Amino acid sequence: MRKVRYGGAISLDGYIAGPNGESDWIVTDPEIDFAAMLRQFDTLLVGRKTFAAMAAGGQGTVPGIETYVFSTTLRSEDCPGVTIVRERAGEFVRALRERPGKDIALFGGAGLFRTLLDAGQVDTVEVSLIPVLLGAGVSLMPPPYGAVRLRLTKQKVLATTGTLSLEYEIVRDKRDSAARRRSRSNG
- Kindly list the residues in this chain that would bind its own copies in the complex (CB under 8 A): 10-15, 18-19, 22, 24-25, 114, 125, 127, 131-137, 139-152, 155, 157, 162, 164, 166, 168
Least distance in Å: CB of 12 to its own copies?
A: 7
Q: Helices 110-118 and 89-98, interaxial angle, to 10°?
A: 70
Least distance in Å: CB of 119 to its own copies?
A: 15
Least distance in Å: CB of 106 to its own copies?
A: 14
Nearest to 112 by CA among 22, 51, 183: 51
- Of the two residues 40 and 160, which places its CB atom closer to its own copies in the complex? 160
Contacts 24+ apart (CB under 8 A), 91-97: 91/119, 92/68, 93/4, 93/45, 93/119, 93/121, 94/119, 94/121, 96/43, 96/68, 97/1, 97/2, 97/4, 97/121
Least distance in Å: CB of 176 to its own copies?
A: 13
- Of the two residues 69 and 118, which places its CB atom closer to its own copies in the complex? 118
- Of the two residues 35 and 147, which places its CB atom closer to its own copies in the complex? 147
- Of the two residues 84 and 117, which places its CB atom closer to its own copies in the complex? 117
Cα 163 → chain centroid = 19
